[in-house]
Amino acid sequence: MNKKILMTGNEAFAKGALDAGCRFYAGYPITPQNELPAYMALNMPEAGGVFIQAESEISAVNMVFGASAAGVRSMTSSSSPGISLKQEGISYLAGAELPSVIINVMRAGPGLGNIWPSQSDYFQATRSAGHGDSHCIVLAPSTVQESYDIMFLAFDLADKYRNPVMILGDGLLGQMMEPVLFTNHQLSVAAGGPATGDQKPETKLWALTGCKGRKRNIAKSFYLREGDLEKLNILLQKKYQEIQEKEERFEGVNLDNAELVLVGYGTMARIAKSAMQRLREENYNIGLIRPITLWPFPKKVFERYATGDKRLIFLAVEMSYGQMVDDVKLSLNGRFPVDFIGRSGGGVVSEEDIIAKVKGLLSTKKRNE
Amino acid sequence: MNKSFVRPKSLVDVSTHYCPGCGHGIAHRLVAEVVDELDIREKVIGVTPIGCAVVAYDYWDFDCSEAAHGRALAVATAIKRVRPENIVFTYQGDGDLAAIGTNETIHAANRGENLTVVFINNAIYGMTGGQMAPTTLLKQKTATTPLGREIKYHGYPLKISEMLAVLQGVKYIERVSLQSPQAVLNAKKALKHAFENQINNVGFSLVEILSPCPTYWGMSPRQAMDWVRDVMSKEFPVGRIK
Ligand SMILES: Cc1ncc(C[n+]2csc(CCOP(=O)(O)OP(=O)(O)O)c2C)c(N)n1
């Protein structure tokens, strides 16, 4: 279909998931992501899948554990307080190596906070999947179109690495309406798509289907015997390392001649991009790095600058009080100054805020030269 | 000569980690025998709890999933919904099913999920070292009720089976015990019925099994069996509840 359809980010997540072969969804209502389960409730039955409104976020994520263990592409979604409740379950998913997708349409905290957009759950999402030495792959779309498209990638990565994938959106992205083209993504083999070239049909041999004609399968994360858990952890760490090597994704704009690089993801990247364009009209050389994978963080693009000899300023822009900025600093390893601008709790950094900050930073730089 | 007492096919030939006199081993065997007799080993999927029985999947020779503490019925709900042709059951202790997992228990039951639940009531938390369970009896001493369970501070033993029986989605509930060979045979009958209900699409079926925990009751295996008969089953009467 080549027609563009106007929809919210939340609906685009749901539609993308269904088109990517998701056949199990469980969730518990929380604003600002309620359009997502509503879309699932309406459209999942037609896709031949299962929708369940669970009794809590905890139950929902554990339902995803069950459906995924049974071999079905499955997902849940929530917003910040609900994601906190899911964290134990996400850690179990990582420990049992069950592919799954978890969407966090972030709202402002701490506590109940409010329903305004925010990016304050970056640490929670990127540092570990929950308790224990585990990781989610974390993706951050910045438009409604990308929210649709990224679901294919999310389920493919989940299956490829047998790992939970978290998508970090925010209330603005979830609620905003934009036209979406349902691009004809080639369905991956794991999603029931055709096996082409040297791809072999990927059946989930580990899934619980009943032990007919094979040895029993067990989905578990419990390893009591001395040494066993350490063995699992070493395997997991190898996997995480492979993901870090292969799966970094980012969008880079005007990086070659920039003297200041804005860094932002999701909604903030859009605002930063607009600010960048206006600044460039005034002849400021501004670039932008928009991380698409937040874990693995796209370190390599920063490392490239960290080894060159051009002086650059980096400015991280977030709807938080400074979380992603830590990864920027880690990636640059002290080579360049990293500045930060951010708000959270209802406020959103505006184009004007960014422009003023950039001009301030560049004039200080000039004075010091 | 025909052997009349053999290891069920659904039971792996290993020794278990359970303490002497523990009821879990008996209950595992009953489940295995029923699975064999109904000829469903190749399509059954068990969900094991967090509790002493977490590694039941090492003892049963069929597909199993672990579930986070209390969440067995959420995990089982999803497996059954996406694979209705499989036979899905949970096996849960009283802490798992009636304390941390009460929400999942009530709502799976209320949705009328077509599942079989094996509920082991041993009136204590075994795995963590003998703390009070929701089903701990009044006056019963545990690690966290050193002076015995008191109404004033701890409330009454929770009768979750009776609570669940009032839900319209629930089709069958029976309480059985492991106190004697005769009781064990009755327990097996109830389990078989609960599995048959699922096969026949009847709906949510639960068997509560009063089960001894000599280690944390501070008794010999024999005393523990007698305590189930003389004390525990006075508070938790055996028989069909629904
Ligand atoms: C979230 C969480 N809380 C607490 C525990 C610790 N824990 C493990 S088993 C258990 C209780 C087990 O008691 P029960 O369900 O009655 O089973 P039993 O061991 O007696 O068979 C507890 C509290 C845990 N593993 N996870």
- What would the CATH number be for the domain defined by A4-190? 3.40.50.970
Q: How sure is the predictor about B98, in pLDDT bands with cuts at 50, 70 and 90?
A: very high
* β-strands A4-8, A177-181 pairing: antiparallel
HSE value, Cβ hemisphere, 13 Å, CA-based, for A144:
22
> How far is the C-alpha of A165 from the C-alpha of A73, rounded, in Å?
12
User: DSSP 3-state assignment of B83?
Assistant: coil
Q: What residues in A contact B104, CB-CB < 8 Å?
A: 55, 58-59, 62
> How far is the C-alpha of B73 from the C-alpha of A161, rounded, in Å?
27
pLDDT at A10 exceeding the cut of 70:
yes
Predicted pLDDT at A335: 86
- Verify whether the Cβ–Cβ distance A216 to B62 is below 8 Å: yes
CATH 3.40.50.920 domain position(s) in chain A: 251-368
Percent of chain A residues topping a pLDDT of 90? 86
pLDDT at A184 exceeding the cut of 70:
no
Tell me A138's DSSP state: E
Nearest-CB residue to B86 (from A52, A67, A210): A210
- Verify whether the Cβ–Cβ distance A67 to B41 is below 8 Å: no
The more confident residue out of A59 and A303 is A59
Please name the CATH architecture into which domain A251-368 falls: 3-Layer(aba) Sandwich (3.40)
- How far is the alpha carbon of B121 from chain A, nearest alpha carbon, in Å? 23
Residue type, A151: M
> How far is the C-alpha of A51 from the C-alpha of A37, rounded, in Å?
8
Residues near ligand 1 with C-beta < 6 Å?
B 50-53, 69, 93-96, 120, 122, 124-128, 133
> How far is the C-alpha of B10 from the C-alpha of A160, rounded, in Å?
32
Average pLDDT rounded to a whole number, residues A183-195: 64
> How far is the C-alpha of A354 from the C-alpha of A278, rounded, in Å?
11
- Verify whether the Cβ–Cβ distance B63 to A212 is below 8 Å: no
* Domains located in chain B, CATH noted: 24-240 (3.40.50.970)
Rg (CA), chain B: 17
pLDDT at B35 exceeding the cut of 60:
yes
> According to DSSP H, which parts of chain A are helical?
9-19, 35-43, 57-69, 80-95, 122-127, 144-161, 171-175, 228-246, 266-281, 299-307, 324-332, 351-368
> According to DSSP H, which parts of B64-126 are helical?
72-82, 94-95, 102-110
Average pLDDT rounded to a whole number, residues A312-332: 96
Average pLDDT rounded to a whole number, residues B30-54: 98
Other beta carbons within 10 angstroms of residue A271's beta carbon come to 22
Model confidence over A243-269: pLDDT tens digits?
999 999 999 999 988 999 999 999 999
ipTM over 0.85: yes
Chain A residues with at least one Cβ partner in B under 8 Å: 23-24, 26, 50, 52, 54-56, 58-60, 62-67, 69-72, 74, 88-89, 92, 96, 208-213, 216-222, 224
Q: What residues in B contact A216, CB-CB < 8 Å?
A: 57, 60-64
Q: What angle do CA A128, A134, A138 make, to 5 degrees?
A: 55
Are the C-beta atoms of residues B227 and B123 closer than 8 Å to each other?
no
- How far is the alpha carbon of B86 from chain A, nearest alpha carbon, in Å? 7
Q: How sure is the predictor about A193, in pLDDT bands with cuts at 50, 70 and 90?
A: low
pLDDT at A199 exceeding the cut of 70:
no
Q: What residues in A contact B57, CB-CB < 8 Å?
A: 216, 218, 220
Residue that is written with structure tokens 């339902």 in the block? A63
CA distances from A185 to A31, A194, A243 (A): 30, 12, 22
> How far is the C-alpha of B24 from the C-alpha of B57, rounded, in Å?
13
Are the C-beta atoms of residues A260 and A313 closer than 8 Å to each other?
yes
Percent of chain B residues topping a pLDDT of 90? 98
Nearest-CB residue to A55 (from B79, B83, B103): B103
- How many inter-chain contacts (A to B, CB under 8 Å) are there? 130
Distance B129 CA to ligand 1 centre (A): 9
Average per-residue pLDDT for chain A: 93
> How far is the C-alpha of A279 from the C-alpha of A46, rounded, in Å?
48
- Ligand 1: which of B92, B125, B160 to mutate, judged by most atoms within 8 Å of the beta carbon? B125
CATH 3.40.50.970 domain position(s) in chain A: 4-190
Average pLDDT rounded to a whole number, residues B47-70: 98
In the sheet that holds A100-106, the strands lie side by side as A50-53, A24-27, A74-78, A100-106, A164-170, A137-139, A293-295
Average pLDDT rounded to a whole number, residues B97-110: 98
